[in-house]
Amino acid sequence: MVLPEFEYKKANSIAEAVALYKGYKGKAKYLAGGTDLVPLVKLRLSAPKAVIDLKGIKELKTISRGDGWLSIGANVTLFDLKNDPAIKGYFPALYESLDATSCETLQMRGTIGGNILQDTRCLEYNQSLQWRTARGFCFKMGGKTCNVVQGAKACFANYCSDNAPALITLSAQAKLAGPKGARTVKLENLFTGDGKKPLALEEGEMLVQIQIPLKKTKGAYEKLRIRDSMDYPLVGVAVSVAGTKARACIGGVGLVPRVYDLKNVNDAAVREAAEKAYAEAKPVANATLTPAYRKKMVGVLLKRAFNKALQEGK
Ligand SMILES: Cc1cc2nc3c(=O)[nH]c(=O)nc-3n(C[C@H](O)[C@H](O)[C@H](O)COP(=O)(O)OP(=O)(O)OC[C@H]3O[C@@H](n4cnc5c(N)ncnc54)[C@H](O)[C@@H]3O)c2cc1C
Ligand code: SF4
């Protein structure tokens, strides 16, 4: 499929990127590895007048430690992050989610920032313009219906980042910069639950860094997918345990990663969290496995991830 025409701009600093964006009055897109954006542009699901390449910005590519945090630049590739010794040593849930993301070729191109900011997905959405025109435009494309759930009032597309759930279990925060200045938000607050605009970013706002409290954790990531060699999650469950406390996060089902905090990790608390996560998961028929199976696997994978995480160090 051929790309449409757009202007290509390369920024060398955050300030330059934001200034370039402002010049295009909302009609530009930031570009990191391009593995999410370029297919969307090819499918005419995104039509930027310009793309602003962030790959020349050095400070977006560093990983540093200080003041009790690990700070990861948004443009660090998934592969480089996976191979940083701090990740395997401190954050096993994140190591496993990075390792489970697509394949190593994609990990070498795709960045952690682009991974978190990827668009939501649906079998009725990620299609060519001709296919979608024949079917009729749904809510997410500016239409008046959902093509998956008859009579629905909102979109049920799936947020498929493997790594955002793992980062959320680690209480990560996102450092942002944009035309209105800088701010830092908890990663779980970056999601709106609105299919048309799933991410709570202001116009022209960039993700600069992900910051994780630098404390050792136990953890695991369990992923349901069709092809183990390379596939998006149909359900992704991350768990991280620090002392007696634990956090689980479910991705791949619906617009927003769902968080479950356990004050005291024991068999009963894990069973309760699995039952709650199962009850609250509402998959619909917009991915390659049935909703009933995906729903069941939410509870199964949550228990499996805890079993694995708690085995560590025994
Ligand atoms: C075949 C295939 C398989 C895939 N499998 C998986 C998978 O298993 N798991 C998974 O999680 N993902 C998967 N992906 C999705 C995607 O490739 C990865 O999530 C990747 O990490 C995206 O990173 P990127 O740097 O390429 O993002 P890009 O495509 O460059 O950017 C993604 C979005 O984020 C915006 N953006 C990027 N950086 C910034 C920034 N710093 N500030 C503000 N906005 C920014 C862009 O404008 C764009 O909207 C897959 C993609 C493909 C093509
Ligand atoms: S869930 Fe419905 S509204 Fe959302 S992308 Fe799919 S068809 Fe469109």
Q: Give pLDDT tens digits for 225-257.
A: 999 888 999 999 999 999 999 999 999 999 999
- HSE-CB at 23 with a 13 A cutoff on CA atoms is 13
Last residue of a domain, one of 34, 56, 78: 56
- Nearest ligand (C-alpha, residue 122): 2
Contact 128, 43 (CB under 8 A): yes
Q: What is the pLDDT of residue 113?
A: 98
Nearest atom, ligand 2, residue 149 CA: 2
Cα 32 to ligand 1 centroid, rounded to whole Å? 8
Residue given tokens 């998934």 in the structure block? 78
Q: Which domain holds residue 27?
A: 1-56
Across the strands, what pairs with 254?
none
User: Residue 12: left (phi > 0), alpha (psi -120 to 50), or beta?
Assistant: alpha
Mutate to test the pocket of ligand 1, among 55, 78, 118 (most ligand atoms within 8 A of CB): 118
pLDDT at residue 129, rounded to an integer:
96
Question: Ligand 2 in contact with 239 (CB < 6 A)?
Answer: no
Contact indicator for 304, 239 with CB cutoff of 8 Å: no
Asked whether residue 200 is assigned to any structural domain, the reply reads yes
* Boundary-marking domain end, from 37, 56, 75: 56
Q: What is the pLDDT of residue 45?
A: 97
> Measured from the CB, is residue 177 less than 6 Å from ligand 2?
no
Of 33, 56, 79, which one is at a domain's C-terminal end? 56
Alpha carbon 46 to chain centroid distance?
18
Looking at the fold, whether 47 and 65 belong to one and the same domain comes out as no
Cα 177 to middle of ligand 1, angstroms: 19
pLDDT beneath 70, residues of the chain: 312-314
71 and 101 housed in the same domain: yes
Q: Does residue 22 share a domain with residue 81? A: no
pLDDT of residue 314: 52
Total domains in the chain come to 2
Q: What is the model's pTM?
A: 0.97
Q: What angle do CA 72, 159, 206 make, to 5 degrees?
A: 40
